[in-house]
Amino acid sequence: MPQNKRISLIFAFLVCICLLQSSYLKAQHDNTLKATLERGTSTVNIQQEFTYKNSSADTLSVLYFNDWAHAYSDKNTALARRFAEDFKKALHLAKDSNRGSTEVLSMLDEDFRSLTWKRKEGQIDLIRIELNEPIPPGGEQRFIFTYTVKLPPNRYTPFGYGADGGFYLKDWYLTPAVYDGEWHLYSNKNLEDLYTDNTDTNIFFTYPAGLDMGTNFNEVNIMPFPDKNYATLSGVNRKSCDIILNAQWEFIKHVTSNLVVATDIRSNKYDNISQGVSINRITDFITENLGKFPYEQLLVSEIDFNKNPLYGLSQLPSFVRPYKEQFQFELKFLKTALRSYMRETIFVDPRKEQWLTDALVNYMMIKYVDTFYPDQKLLGKLSSIWGVRNYHLAEMGFNEQYAFFNMLTARKNLDQALTTPNDSLIKFNQKIANTYKAGLGLAYLADYLGNTVVDKSVSEFYEEYSLKQVSPLDFIRILEQNTEKDISWFYDTYVSSDKRIDFKISNVVKAQDSLYVTIKNKTGTNVPISLFGIRNDTVVSEYWLTNIEDEREFALPRNTENRLVLNYDQKIPEFNQRDNWKTLKGWFSSNKKLKLQFFKDSEDPYYNQIFYMPVANFNVYDGLSPGIRFTNKTLLERPFIYDFSPSYAMREKSMVGFAKLNYRQYLQKSGLYVINYAMRASTAHFQTNSRYSTITPSVGIGWRPADLIANKRSSLVFRYVNVFRDIDPSLDLQTDPDYSVFNLRFNSINNGIIDYFSWFADAQHSADFTKLALNMEYRKLFQNNTQVNLRFFAGKFIRNQTNSDFFSFALDRPTDYLFDYNYLGRSEDSGITSQQIIIAEGGFKSQLENPFANDWIVTTNASFNLWKWIELYGDAGFIKNKNTNSRFVYDSGIRLNLVTDYFELYFPLYSNNGWEIGQPNYEERIRFLVTLSPRTLIGLFTRKWF
């Protein structure tokens, strides 16, 4: 028999097997794709035959299909807007040739008649198809779609083509939106939550040679040829097909006793045989605790892991990772495998009900570590190093990170209910805090009900609802059937609300054989709380206390305990654990020992912690000012903070520094959400042998919208700035050395990377003057990638009895009499530090003659980009001094906007001074903006998370 004919017969035989397999478990729809991937153009040419089966009770005249590949097509898609919210503008700036899109060539019904279709307004990655013939309940229709998917580069998300020649295809073809009486229409927002109906899908896929394939579908056949490969893939009752084509990395198939795993996850320092043993242990664990995987193979890929890594220390470079290679590999593989397991078999609405699969994944993670690594510390090998082992962070077990990371947002008043839709969660909650809280919730429930009850419920849920459309309430129902205890609080309070859990031991009365313990519920969140009796760090008794709505006394038997502790094992994500214990010795039962520690640590509820750390500041008068900082600020935010930082000014040979007391009161999630009370004092030098000191009490009130993702914030700040100055006798000071200013300022900001708008209104009053000011700033990144920056400032003295310009409005370099700005040399009028600019008041860059206004000032500042970060700027305005005419001022030049608001350079060209570029000593006219504050710089990277 000729070779070509033999190949054709084999191919036909395999297709028949593929089609027969699909008859074993019939899904809702039938789907067949012929797809060809073209390497040169990074396009996929697709012909798709889709049979839609109407299982609803309604007659359907319109269908919707997900076309998530088209989400990369322009700057106004939901995906592009989501990136902007996360301060990413790569997709906005991309050229058309570097975008992804879907070009629909034809849409036909089974009679080859054209279908009318259009993209949904505001959601162009969804296609609305008007049917020529409606589909009645129980009916079906076949359609033929012909289209081309242009893949984007994988710089925006992992989807698309990579620089190494590889490809990642996910959500790459048309899939049916879910209809259950209403359409569930979700756009691609890079949240890994495509919601689509199940289909029986067969894919005949042609792709370039030299690429190794990994897929979640069954590989019926792969036939290699010199320039391309032909693959037949089959998925029965599946959502969608993922295809990974690696150019430099092969997929290895591990055949375990329970399932076949295709993976490209490796560990260079963990040998292949040991990796196989670990994979076998993981698959045994998952199968034993969940159930048998219903498909031919499980795809566990490096790409999937990178989308949801093990956040924390495991993300450090390999040469400083604190964990053993086996533990690191197993946790990485386990998390990726569990997420793939859930995605392929538990069919919830992933946009609205993701918490359920998150809970199951992280509960299994917690259980795996408890089972195989019960002594694993959060800091790993670092926990035993001298200088680290005394930290409370080093004492924390690995699984304690779940409560810790959940508290990071709770302490910032940014926690959100687990039932919050995926696209309404701030990024830190969506990626970390809420997923951890979900898993921790099941661990909490298992501790309360007993592990057997929860483990049994998980297995029963998976067995009953695997491969079926399911609701989280189905899981809750199974839990309730397996226990006689009331667990209504779990869904109604823990899952569905953002109410905080916080209890304290308010009183203990000791009798001969009993303890009368009064527990106070500080937040009114009525959930069970655990109470432990401890003797010399050993648990001697444990109780679960329930139905504490406000305050309740419990009579407990007295054993050998010498300390009572609420939530000792950290299984409950409690808001504040600093008041969770009482000793049973002496009068001062709640006194805590003082713990002085170098550098910052996690919160230890059994000590009053004071942290100290070296600091160093610099200005040209003090020189380098090394010092030491004392604070009670832990890794988690707390309401009351004190911060003292004495330093030694090496140039002035004297003490400088600051002190701060701060109390933050969170009121609610949105609207008027916070009040901040502060007292700050500081001292430093503003000129040689001349010191300033400030004492500033303040109260700040903050507002934010109900949508926590929105970057909008408003605040009203009241402060009373008291300044005291000791002046070198040789200085000619034209103002009183001491003064006080009452300052009232309202701030409003919408900190968007595409559209930025902020403004403030400021009022100041002192013995010698009263002044008002208005500042507005607007930035816009247009569709053609031109960015325009506009700023407006206006200031007016209502009363001015000063006899100098110290309190006057300034064009280019405010005197900063309130000492708000971080000038390197605030009194310099020559040298490099005099060229530092802070965009405030007039905002000019050129140094003009008579730059002060003691009556009023109005200025505008504008710039737009010429090429990337090179911009042309111009400033113009009027200034008015008393008893003189107003004066028009202007300047212009080139701005190098390297990092907006953090590092910028200004090169003046033309101004009231004339052509500055041709004048002597031009280098002295160049201005720079620089931010050296570590806290401000860190905020540049953390803003996308919170």
For residue 889, give Cα distances in angstroms to 658, 689, 847, 849, 886. Answer: 39, 36, 11, 10, 10
What tens digit of pLDDT does each residue of 311-335 get? Answer: 876 666 666 778 999 999 999 999 9
What tens digit of pLDDT does each residue of 356-374 get? Answer: 999 999 999 999 999 999 9
User: Rounded CA gap, 108 and 36, in Å?
Assistant: 20
Identify whether residues 167 and 266 lie together within a single domain. Answer: no
**Domain closes at, from 569, 591, 613:** 591
What tens digit of pLDDT does each residue of 666-678 get? Answer: 999 999 999 999 9
pLDDT for 536 beyond 70: yes
pLDDT for 101 beyond 50: yes
Identify whether residues 745 and 769 lie together within a single domain. Answer: no
Identify whether residues 746 and 760 lie together within a single domain. Answer: no
> Cβ atoms within 10 A of the Cβ of 387, count?
10
510 confidence band (pLDDT: 50, 70, 90):
confident
168 neighbors 74 (Cβ within 8 angstroms): no
Q: Check residue 16 and give its pLDDT.
A: 43
772 neighbors 746 (Cβ within 8 angstroms): no
Q: Check residue 935 and give its pLDDT.
A: 67
Can you state the angle between helices 354-372 and 451-465, rounded to 10 degrees? 130
User: Rounded CA gap, 821 and 835, in Å?
Assistant: 14
- The residue written with tokens 């901040």 in the block is 676
Identify whether residues 650 and 676 lie together within a single domain. Answer: yes
**Domain closes at, from 463, 478, 495:** 495
Residue at 353 is within a domain: no
User: Rounded CA gap, 242 and 173, in Å?
Assistant: 10
User: Rounded CA gap, 759 and 222, in Å?
Assistant: 62
What tens digit of pLDDT does each residue of 122-170 get? Answer: 999 999 999 999 999 999 999 999 999 999 999 999 999 999 999 999 9
**Domain closes at, from 233, 250, 267:** 250
pLDDT for 892 beyond 70: yes
Q: Check residue 272 and give its pLDDT.
A: 92
What tens digit of pLDDT does each residue of 836-847 get? Answer: 999 999 999 999
494 neighbors 527 (Cβ within 8 angstroms): yes
Tell me the pLDDT of the chain averaged across its residues.
91
What tens digit of pLDDT does each residue of 686-714 get? Answer: 888 889 999 999 999 999 999 999 989 99
Identify whether residues 547 and 635 lie together within a single domain. Answer: no
What tens digit of pLDDT does each residue of 385-400 get? Answer: 888 888 989 999 999 9
Residue at 668 is within a domain: yes
9 confidence band (pLDDT: 50, 70, 90):
very low
Residues 6+ apart with CB under 8 A from 363: 439, 442, 443, 446, 454, 458
177 neighbors 66 (Cβ within 8 angstroms): yes
| DSSP-based three-state secondary structure for 159 | coil
Residue at 55 is within a domain: yes
Window from 283-297, 712-726, 932-946 with minimum mean pLDDT: 932-946
Identify whether residues 513 and 421 lie together within a single domain. Answer: no
What tens digit of pLDDT does each residue of 730-756 get? Answer: 777 667 789 999 999 999 999 888 899
Q: Which domain holds residue 688?
A: 603-751
Residue at 350 is within a domain: no
Identify whether residues 196 and 261 lie together within a single domain. Answer: no
Q: Check residue 592 and give its pLDDT.
A: 74
- The residue written with tokens 């504040």 in the block is 576
| Phi, psi torsion values for 316, nearest 5 degrees | -70, 160
Identify whether residues 42 and 187 lie together within a single domain. Answer: yes
Closest CA to 727 of 859, 853, 827, 585: 827
pLDDT for 771 beyond 50: yes
What tens digit of pLDDT does each residue of 58-81 get? Answer: 999 999 999 999 999 999 999 999
Q: Check residue 318 and give its pLDDT.
A: 67
Q: Which residues pair with 363 in a beta bridge?
A: none
Can you state the angle between helices 272-289 and 354-372, rounded to 10 degrees? 120
pLDDT for 249 beyond 90: no
pLDDT for 15 beyond 50: no
E strands, 881-937, are 887-899, 903-911, 914-915, 927-930
170 neighbors 193 (Cβ within 8 angstroms): no
Q: Check residue 610 and give its pLDDT.
A: 93
pLDDT for 491 beyond 70: yes
Residue at 729 is within a domain: yes
User: Rounded CA gap, 80 and 319, in Å?
Assistant: 36
Q: Which residues pair with 662 in a beta bridge?
A: 641, 678
Q: Which residue has the higher pLDDT, 867 or 232?
A: 232
Residue at 352 is within a domain: no
pLDDT for 23 beyond 50: no
Half-sphere exposure (CA, 13 Å, Cβ side) for 567? 26
Identify whether residues 473 and 570 lie together within a single domain. Answer: no
Q: What percent of the chain has pLDDT over 70?
A: 95
772 neighbors 808 (Cβ within 8 angstroms): no
Q: Check residue 20 and give its pLDDT.
A: 38
Tokens of 220: 């019926």
Task: Report the domain count for the chain.
Answer: 6
| Phi, psi torsion values for 391, nearest 5 degrees | -80, 150
Q: Check residue 824 and give its pLDDT.
A: 87
Tokens of 391: 């930290």
Identify whether residues 228 and 279 lie together within a single domain. Answer: no
Domain CATH number, residue 69: 2.60.40.1730
Q: What percent of the chain has pLDDT over 90?
A: 75
Identify whether residues 465 and 520 lie together within a single domain. Answer: no
> Cβ atoms within 10 A of the Cβ of 844, count?
27
Q: Check residue 56 and give its pLDDT.
A: 93
Residues 6+ apart with CB under 8 A from 714: 702, 703, 704, 746, 747, 748, 749
Identify whether residues 289 and 308 lie together within a single domain. Answer: yes
Residue at 597 is within a domain: no
Tokens of 496: 């569905």
Q: Check residue 822 and give its pLDDT.
A: 87
Residue at 598 is within a domain: no
